[in-house]
Amino acid sequence: MLAKDSRPGAILALALLANAPLFAGFVLAPLFTGGNAQAGRAYVPWVLWLTAPLAIASIGLFVRTEAHRREHRAARMGLLLALVALLLWALALALTLIAA
């Protein structure tokens, strides 16, 4: 049922949710603390635990979507945002491992 009913909007929504911890931790937190770059460190666990599963779910939903619905602009934007979220997740993971 899910494979036949998946919508391009759901792909985009999951990708946006995958990017939310990244945006909150590395953009909003330093912005609201006066440019303090260390403020984003509190969000690192959220980034490491939430970003990858949501991005992978978005990509999986894109793969399971019917071919004519994959051509929708929202589906393609969701796929791109999910790939960017995975790339940023890998960068946060690598920096966390280096700093430890």
The two three-digit tokens of residue 4, written as one number:
């036949």
Q: For residue 3, what pLDDT is reported?
A: 52
Print burial letters for 16-47: b (CB count within 10 Å at least 16), e (below 16). bbbbbbbeebbeebeeeeeeeeebbeebbeeb
Q: Which of 91, 74, 88 is nearest to 11 (CA)?
A: 74
Q: For residue 5, what pLDDT is reported?
A: 55
Q: For residue 4, what pLDDT is reported?
A: 53
Nearest 5 degrees, angle CA 57-CA 5-CA 80? 40
Q: For residue 37, what pLDDT is reported?
A: 76
Report, as an integer, the average pLDDT of 35-41.
82
pLDDT digits (tens, 9 = 90+) for 13-37: 999 999 999 999 989 998 898 888 7
Q: Give the total number of structural domains in the chain.
A: 1
The two three-digit tokens of residue 9, written as one number:
């909007």
pLDDT digits (tens, 9 = 90+) for 53-97: 999 999 999 999 989 888 999 999 999 999 999 999 999 999 999
Enclosing domain of residue 87: 2-99
